[in-house]
Structure 1
Amino acid sequence: MLFLSDLDGTLMNSNGTITEEDVNSIYQWTQKHSFGFVTGRDHAFCMELASKYQLSCEYMITDNGANAYYKDQNVYSSLIDLDDGIQMCKEILKYNLDLFYTDEVGNRYYPVSSYGKERLHSFEKKQPSLGRFSNIDILEYLNSRDLGLAKLSMYVENDLDLLLNQFRDLFKNYEVMATSKDYIEITKKGTNKWEAFCHLPVEDAIFIGDGENDLCILKNLKNTYVMDHAPESLKVYGVCIKSVAQAIDIESRKENV
């Protein structure tokens, strides 16, 4: 059986760490079963996290469903057209937001030419879990690419709901979602975690999540868990629990009945 977990707010706390209890539970689970991440984070981040905690993660859905991996092989991609992505970046910059793009190996690009290095360094301090950014400007980098884009990310300190509605009107042909209380992300139309799951070589799984971007997969899988701090609207779609370890413990007990 495959157990899939969301990262931010579910398996991972705001400091980017996983509790010892959760790590030990995953170790025990993967003695007999498979485990994987389902997240808005990029593949490079997920690989580094799995390596840091020595977790066996055969399955990964990353970038809010823009990419899916099985045994480190990309089995599905849903990418923003490159030219459209560049034009969207130019529009977003008019709103003076902290916009960035993360490439396939984890390099992050910021509008350093528009905002300056001082603002970049200030942003790095606000969001330390993102790590260091490249000194190459985001538009300079995108203009050198050949491939499409998994997602565009924006850090939004104020007026998130207002900006979310404005961007949804502006970019009608793309998915625009609030992935946390201070992030808006844009992906190709039709991109979501469930669509990515359908391209993995597995028919069923256990899933645990806590955010609106988890709703599509919570609705479609039968065996689901929701963190107790999740929005009330999500709690009808799974068993409410406090940790990944608690969910794994429940599943393990089922096997022993």
Structure 2
Amino acid sequence: MNRKLIFFDIDGTIIPEDTGVIPESTKEAIKKAKENGHLVFINTGRTFSGITQPIFDLEFNGYVCGCGTHIYFDGKKIYSSVIPKEKCIETVAVLRKNKVNAFYEGDKGIYFDYSYSNPFMERAKKMLRTNGKSVEVILEDKDEVFDKCLIKFTDEDIDKKDIIMPFFEANYYCIDRGEDMWEMAQKGHSKATGIQKVCEYLGADIDDCIAIGDSTNDLDMLKAVKNSVAMGNSMESILPYCSYKTTDIKEDGIYNALVHFGII
């Protein structure tokens, strides 16, 4: 078998969103895939600073972060794209003016705006296992920028959606995560472009790539490859775009998917 490049989402694919504990079968599957000569990659909307130690402990060959904006292979950064400082400041101003729930993700940290009540922050802190930094760092430090942001509209601020979305649609690649949550990534970048850049760097064929995910922010990479896997716990809307549906994340979903494709 040709060497395969396997790209894994994190949340809902590697890590169950309810327990936050990586299944032992997932750890074993990734270890066996590497032993069999394949390359394993994280491909996540999270920026590098948002990847937690349990993921690093699995020793992936590479990391595609921030929807394809920062890519690492074998411990080296091989690609990077950042949002201009002026655009970061303008984005914070738009969200702050309208008091919309959001947090910002960058290669150097996760940033929260403490200038107004933001219940979404607490959920994000728990998921990312960090208290992060104040967004004031972005506004005051010329060397710090963010690469993307995540917005969650609530019943209290849903009326602001029509006010701020034109700004984001003009300046960002907007990914509808469902339930009024939006991921705002850099235009021209996605999990799919991340796979393409890894292939270019390694001289690999995209037909030798497998993508595994569970939600709408995985659609780009699932559509980009011939062999795409939906977790058993996936959103129904992604199923038409996947060539195989495995079992639930907590029912050996990753292990079963890699067995299906002959990886292990």
TM-score class, shorter-chain normalisation, is: 0.7 to 0.9
For the structure 1 residues 123 and 149, does the alpha-carbon distance in structure 2 shift closer, same or farther, using more than 3 Å as the test? closer
Deviation at 1:35, TM superposition (A): 0.9
**Superposition CA RMSD, Å:** 2.8
Q: CA deviation at 1:66?
A: 1.7
Question: What TM-score do you get using the length of structure 2 for normalisation?
Answer: 0.81
Flag the 1:247–1:8 CA change in 2: closer, same or farther, 3 A: same
Unmatched segments (≥5 aa) in structure 2: 248-252
If the length of structure 1 is used for normalisation, what is the TM-score? Answer: 0.83
Cross-structure match for 2:250 = none
Matched, 1:248 2:258: yes
Change (3 A) 1:123 1:100: closer
Q: Distance in 2 between matches of 1:176 and 1:165?
A: 14
1:1-257 pair list within 5 angstroms: 1-14=4-17, 15-32=19-36, 33-46=38-51, 48-51=53-56, 54-105=57-108, 107-112=109-114, 114-115=115-116, 119=117, 123-124=121-122, 127-134=125-132, 137-146=134-143, 148-158=145-155, 166-171=163-168, 172-179=170-177, 181=179, 183-200=181-198, 201=202, 202-204=204-206, 205-238=209-242, 239-242=244-247, 243-252=253-262
Q: How many residues align?
A: 246
1:64 partner SS? coil
Query: How far 1:124 moved relative to its partner?
Result: 2.8
**Secondary structure at the residue paired with 2:59?**
coil
Gap regions ≥5 residues in structure 1: none
Q: Is the 8 A contact 1:98 1:110 kept in 2?
A: no
How much has 1:197 moved relative to structure 2?
1.4
What is the aligned-residue identity percentage? 23
CA contact (8 A) 1:176 1:187 kept: yes
Kept in 2, the 8 Å contact 1:99–1:152? The answer is yes
The residue identity in structure 2 corresponding to 1:141 is I
SS at match of 2:197: coil
Measure how far apart 1:194 and its partner are. 0.8
**C-alpha distance in structure 1 between counterparts of 2:147 and 2:10, whole Å:** 18
